[in-house]
Structure 1
Amino acid sequence: MWREAAGLIGAAGCACLARSEYEKRHFSVEAATIVSDKIARDRTFVFLSDLHNNEFGSGNQKLVEAIHGLNPDAVLCGGDMMVSKKGSRDIQVPLRLFGQLAARYPVFYGNGNHENRMTWRRDIYGNLYEEYRDALRKMGVSYLEDRTVPLGEDILITGVDLDGDFYRKALYQKPPDMERGYLEKKLGTAGEYGDGFRILLAHSPLYFDAYADWGADLTLSGHFHGGTIRIPGLGGVMTPQYQFFLPWCAGDFERNGKRMIVSRGLGTHSINIRLNNRPQLAVIYLKKKQRVFEKAGNL
């Protein structure tokens, strides 16, 4: 009996691994719609996060073609497009990708912990961060290091570089709360940039309350890779910070009229598994809120 049971477990494990390999190579395109009276005209954005040097076809051609098919007004990036761990120095995959995208669309790039790790560990990476950032800037990418830039007259896009403690592994020590005023110290007050629709690229979704309180109308995050394995009704099993069944692993969240979209990301690294958790190309449709006038009759 135990041999039959072991055989069934082994077969199930092989099936799961085969399914995981399939999922890692086949992304899904998923859309969210946001309506706001701050928007002057409708726009389409694509949001990329957590590629981690993954490629969908040679030179990421399948991903690029999918983006071209959506014809976005801009491409937004939430960081972790490469792997900077155990001394990995490969930055060519994201550079090839953004070289294709920046030639056609405005691109706005916010850092993740893997970009920032290159500055935290200069003993390993030297000036690799500046090499990467400057290469993207030469392509025309708006690289947002604690910086806000406008898109048209009605949209403001901000990227925040979170400190390393916010990415602390919960298995060893719980990540800290975000102290009041932290974002103002990093970014200034949201109101000083104007009254436009504010998009915040903040890699970790753990601090949605702080992002919303700061003034972000829409926060775009990633980092948690959808929880690695997703179980219907329970969500993602484990984040890269070793949090289990965390509600913020992926999805569309709302707080007092503020929204946060958390991408499942496009790649993996240390935990090289995806199950019921296909990579995600996120599409955001921003819609201008239409004013409704009641017919008053004859005057």
Structure 2
Amino acid sequence: MAKENKGPWHAKMVRIVSIWTIAIHLPWAIALALALVRWLGLLSYGVAMGAVLLAYALLEPLVFYPLPDKPRPAWRVDALERPYFVHVASVHVSAVGWLFNILNLQWKIDLWLGPFVAYFMALWVFGWGSFVTSRRLRIRHLTLSVYGLPAAFEGYRIAHISDIHLGGFTPPSQVANWLERVRAVPVDLTVITGDVVTSGVQFHESIASLLGTLRSPDGVFFVPGNHDYFGNGMPLFELLERHRVRVLRNEQVLLTRNDAPLLIAGMDDVWTGRGDLAVTLSQRHDRCTILLAHDPIVFDDAARLGVSLMLSGHTHGGQLALPGLARHVNLTKRANRYSLGVYRNGRSTLVVSGGLGCTGLPIRVGVPPEVGVITLVCARCTDAPSA
């Protein structure tokens, strides 16, 4: 097994999460104190704050024990860790209850009621999102018109997998079930756009062997994501190659059908400063090009350089989104211009996958795990993507 490399990000993350976890519980603690004040008087505030600090001291190992990610019993994950993160997410929503109180003071309701109503409603939504939605795979079929696509590649089918994040919250058994469904769909090419693990090195062998079960006539290609480097990325890439998964790091592969070319270009991760778009596309020579890049942030530059189709992930569609309107209302929309779905820029098309696994909170609401099955057609045949 490769050596673990935590790096400075680990200590920094521990500090940030510790401070934020305590801070976000303060409104919840005040609501608890207000609920107890009629019995304990001012002592209720001390009791509430003490309860928050004690709970954090007892539960803190649940947050930081798996950093970097490591195997742990399923009972621990489902009985302790998932409920903890569902609680933390719900506490964030309980702060909205204070707004309800401010707007309804004229009704003279108990001030603690709003935060607790919001908390328990969120507890149900996030609990379902963690224990149910995050495990239900959706195979999303798309037909995309691609400018410059050679006629020989009309009807070409690509399976697009992204952001598996195999680890404690997305165990090998879950990933195996998902990939079994993917293998049942006939495609010409399978691509994986990064973040196959969350952090560390202890799941490298598992994910490499699982991805090694994928087979496509034109191969299985992988480009790294930022989380693949949160530990020690190189041993992972060597394992993937050993299992017949081609790793592309600022490289290209030329596919041909009846002497017609289709260039597959794979870009390394830009978040960690390893991606180089110019090098990745250096052999394009006006060929129809499909760019694989974990982060969709480079789409505008790729479009300017003539890329016909770009496949990305990274955003998870926010993980938390408004059901039915996930593309437009999701947690990452403001931070990522291209957050989920299909986008156009001139003659270039971008597909951003919602991904499979989770990071941060092990919760998905409105954005179920997905694998895309993309059918390519010449732009002269149709001019708009359809789901």
The two structures share one fold, judged by TM-score above 0.5? yes
1:73 and 2:164 matched:
no
1:230–1:113 distance in 2 versus 1, CA, 3 Å: same
Contact in 2 for aligned 1:49/1:80 (Cα 8 Å): yes
Cα displacement (A) at 1:70: 1.6
CA distance in 1, matches of 2:263, 2:142: 19
Cross-structure match for 2:240: 136
Cross-structure match for 2:203: 90
Q: Where in structure 2 are the equivalents of 1:160-199 lying within 5 Å?
A: 160-164=267-271, 183-184=277-278, 186-192=279-285, 195=287, 197-199=288-290
Cross-structure match for 1:150: 254
Correspondence for 1:224 among 293, 305, 315: 315
Q: Write the letter of the residue equivalent to 1:150.
A: L
Query: Where do 5+ consecutive residues of structure 1 fail to align?
Result: 119-124, 168-177, 292-299
1:73–1:188 distance in 2 versus 1, CA, 3 Å: closer
CA distance in 2, matches of 1:164, 1:290: 36
Matched residues, number: 261
Cross-structure match for 1:31: 141
Cα displacement (A) at 1:27: 1.8
CA distance in 2, matches of 1:160, 1:29: 25
CA distance in 1, matches of 2:139, 2:330: 22
CA distance in 2, matches of 1:47, 1:183: 20
CA distance in 1, matches of 2:180, 2:326: 33
Post-superposition Cα deviations, 1:120-162, rounded to whole Å, max 9, x if no partner, equal xxxxx3xxx3322122112222210110002224321111113
Correspondence for 1:215 among 276, 301, 306: 306
Larger deviation, residues 64-73 vs 97-106: 97-106
Structure holding more helix per residue: 2
1:14 and 2:127 matched:
no
Q: Secondary structure at the match of 2:376?
A: strand
1:249–1:8 distance in 2 versus 1, CA, 3 Å: same
CA distance in 1, matches of 2:328, 2:338: 9
1:24–1:77 distance in 2 versus 1, CA, 3 Å: same
Structure holding more strand per residue: 1
CA distance in 1, matches of 2:350, 2:246: 22
Q: Where in structure 2 are the equivalents of 1:26-65 lying within 5 Å?
A: 26-36=136-146, 37-39=148-150, 40-41=152-153, 42-53=155-166, 55=170, 58=173, 60-65=175-180
Contact in 2 for aligned 1:225/1:264 (Cα 8 Å): yes
Cα displacement (A) at 1:35: 2.7
Aligned-pair Cα RMSD in Å: 2.8
1:246–1:7 distance in 2 versus 1, CA, 3 Å: same
Q: Secondary structure at the match of 2:120?
A: helix
Stretches of 4+ moved more than 6 A in 1?
none
CA distance in 2, matches of 1:254, 1:190: 23
Q: Write the letter of the residue equivalent to 2:173.
A: S
CA distance in 2, matches of 1:245, 1:59: 29
TM-score by length of 2: 0.60
CA distance in 1, matches of 2:346, 2:289: 15
Cross-structure match for 1:249: 339
Q: Write the letter of the residue equivalent to 2:123.
A: C
Cα displacement (A) at 1:75: 0.7
Higher RCO (CA 8 Å, separation ≥ 6 residues): 1
CA distance in 2, matches of 1:7, 1:210: 47
Q: Secondary structure at the match of 1:199?
A: strand
CA distance in 2, matches of 1:35, 1:226: 23
1:163–1:117 distance in 2 versus 1, CA, 3 Å: farther
CA distance in 2, matches of 1:131, 1:234: 35
Identity fraction in percent: 24
* Larger radius of gyration between Structure 1 and Structure 2: 2
1:262–1:103 distance in 2 versus 1, CA, 3 Å: closer
CA distance in 1, matches of 2:229, 2:115: 44
Query: Where do 5+ consecutive residues of structure 2 fail to align?
Result: 1-108, 382-387
1:238–1:88 distance in 2 versus 1, CA, 3 Å: farther
Cross-structure match for 2:21: none
CA distance in 1, matches of 2:193, 2:220: 11
